[in-house]
């Protein structure tokens, strides 16, 4: 989920914490618990700072080790010890328990996005992504905002947040039902599909579609059970050339391949350089495919520059690559 929703969830969980008599009756514990819950709701996304290094490192590691089983166990301990240093009279066990719940819920809800997490590490490196909830879901955020506002104006926190999460639970069930209906509709439209990727959008009944058969890739959108296919690309293996082999060793290309399960490729000449471009088919936006990886290879099979990330115009991509080459 996005940062704003994680913060809202942290505040809502703080309301639920008032059901704990130790938290509700002991002011020295209440403050640290509230702080621990909010910090725990944000801590797993600390790896966002990796974006300051480069996109390749960020793509390979975001929602990786910081969302793993060891991290879920470690974050609450670190946060609780830190807060206990400032408020030593706080009840450590209750502080740890509620902080643990906040961290666990953060990682748990991220599983339902299309990006997913490596929540099963170290037992599995697989990305777990159920793709039923958009990274920012306006309905989930609005429900939290309404519940928090009700608490602020005097509604009892425990019943209010209990109702909130009862409604959110039902909403998740509805999203799973719609997701299953969309998948059946895609199979009806493309009966020979071997791989189907369905990603949510901010609109309840609209979903992004990418599917592959043995011969083609298809890209479209689903509106309820109606599937519209916008693009069709012949499915071809990458050429076995020295230019491609050189490009595939580049860190940006390698990061893209590790993240993207369905993409097409283009090879072209840019001045004296050979451009190898990989294009993720899951994120079509107004005829444009913004998530790409590009490598420029010279005549000696050296990668001169490369980039991976979100680019919404060809001009911006050229400027980015020229900047990297100059630097």
Q: Are 196 and 86 in a shared domain?
A: no
Average pLDDT over residues 45-63: 76
Domain range for 209 is 175-234
* Residues 271-304: tens digit of each pLDDT: 888 999 999 999 888 888 989 999 999 999 999 9
On whether the CB atoms of residues 275 and 305 are closer than 8 A, the answer is no
The pLDDT of residue 320 is above 80 = no
Asked, for residue 169, whether it belongs to a domain, the answer is no
Q: Are residue 116 and residue 226 in the same domain, yes or no?
A: no
Query: Can you give the CATH number for the domain in which 180 is found?
Result: 3.10.450
Instruction: Specify burial of residue 294 (Cβ count, 10 A radius: 0-12, 13-18, 19+).
Output: buried
41 and 113 together in one domain: yes
**Pair 219, 259 in one domain:** no
Please give the pLDDT value at position 144. Answer: 97
Q: What is the pLDDT of residue 322?
A: 65
What is the pLDDT averaged over residues 73-87? 96
213 and 253 both lie in a single domain = no
pLDDT category at 52 given cuts 50, 70, 90 is low
- 202 plus 246 within the same structural domain: no
pLDDT: which is higher, 119 or 164: 164
| The pLDDT of residue 185 | 94
Residue 143 lies in a domain: no
Q: Is residue 267 part of a domain?
A: yes
For 223-245, what is each residue's pLDDT tens digit? 988 999 999 999 999 998 999 99
In a domain, 89, yes or no: yes
How many domains does the chain fold into? Answer: 3
203 and 320 co-located in one domain: no
| Residues 125 and 20 occupy one common structural domain | yes
Residue 160 lies in a domain: no
Do 229 and 250 belong to one domain? no
- Angle of helix 92-110 versus helix 3-17 axis, rounded to 10: 140
Residues 145-157: pLDDT tens digits? 999 999 999 999 9
How many helices (H) and strands (E) in the chain? 11, 8
Coil vs helix vs strand at 216: strand
Three-point CA angle 260, 233, 197, nearest 5°:
40
pLDDT tens digits, residue range 176-230? 999 999 999 999 999 999 999 999 999 999 999 999 999 999 999 999 889 999 9
Q: Which of 94, 113, 130 is the last residue of a domain?
A: 130
What are 9-43's pLDDT values in tens digits?
Answer: 999 999 999 999 999 999 899 999 999 999 999 99
Span 1-13, pLDDT tens digits:
899 999 999 999 9
CB burial class (10 A; 0-12, 13-18, 19+) of residue 260?
buried
Instruction: Answer yes or no: do 98 and 26 share one domain.
Output: yes
Are both 211 and 255 inside the same structural domain? no
Residues 253 and 216 in one domain: no
Q: Which residues contact 169 (CB under 8 A, 6 or more apart)?
A: none
Q: Which residues of 90-117 are buried (b: 16+ CB within 10 A; e: fewer)?
A: bbeebbbbbbbbbbbbbbebbbbbbebb
156 within some domain: no
| pTM of structure | 0.88
Q: How far is CA 34 from the centre of its chain?
A: 26
Asked if residue 152 is part of any domain, the answer here is no
Domain-embedded: residue 138: no
Last residue of a domain, one of 64, 98, 130: 130
């Amino acid at each position: 989920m996005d940062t704003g929703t994680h913060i809202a969830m942290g505040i809502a969980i703080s309301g639920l914490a008032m059901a704990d008599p130790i938290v509700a009756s002991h002011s020295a514990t209440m403050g640290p618990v509230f702080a621990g819950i909010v910090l725990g709701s944000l801590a797993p996304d600390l790896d966002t700072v990796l974006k300051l290094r480069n996109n390749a490192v960020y793509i390979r590691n975001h929602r990786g080790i910081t969302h793993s089983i060891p991290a879920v166990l470690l974050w609450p301990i670190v946060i609780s010890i830190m807060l206990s240093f400032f408020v030593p009279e706080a009840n450590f066990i209750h502080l740890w328990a509620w902080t643990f719940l906040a961290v666990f819920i953060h990682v748990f809800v991220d599983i339902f996005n299309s990006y997913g997490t490596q929540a099963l590490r170290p037992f599995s490196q697989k990305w777990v992504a159920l793709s039923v909830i958009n990274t920012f879901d306006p309905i989930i955020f609005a429900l939290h905002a309404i519940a928090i506002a009700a608490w602020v104006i005097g509604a009892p926190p425990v019943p209010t947040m209990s109702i909130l999460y009862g409604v959110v639970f039902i909403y998740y069930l509805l999203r799973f039902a719609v997701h299953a209906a969309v998948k059946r509709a895609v199979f009806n439209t493309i009966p020979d599909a071997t791989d189907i990727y369905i990603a949510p959008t901010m609109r309840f009944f609209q979903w992004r579609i990418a599917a592959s058969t043995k011969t083609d890739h298809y890209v479209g959108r689903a509106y309820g059970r109606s599937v519209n296919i916008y693009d069709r690309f012949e499915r071809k293996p990458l050429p076995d050339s020295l230019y491609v082999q050189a490009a595939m060793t580049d860190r940006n290309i390698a990061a893209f391949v590790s993240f993207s399960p369905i993409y097409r490729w283009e090879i072209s000449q840019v001045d004296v350089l050979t451009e190898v471009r990989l294009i993720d088919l899951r994120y079509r936006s107004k005829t444009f495919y913004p998530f790409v990886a590009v490598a420029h290879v010279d005549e000696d099979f050296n990668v001169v520059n490369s980039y991976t990330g979100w680019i919404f115009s060809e001009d911006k991509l050229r400027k980015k690559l020229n900047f990297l080459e100059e630097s």
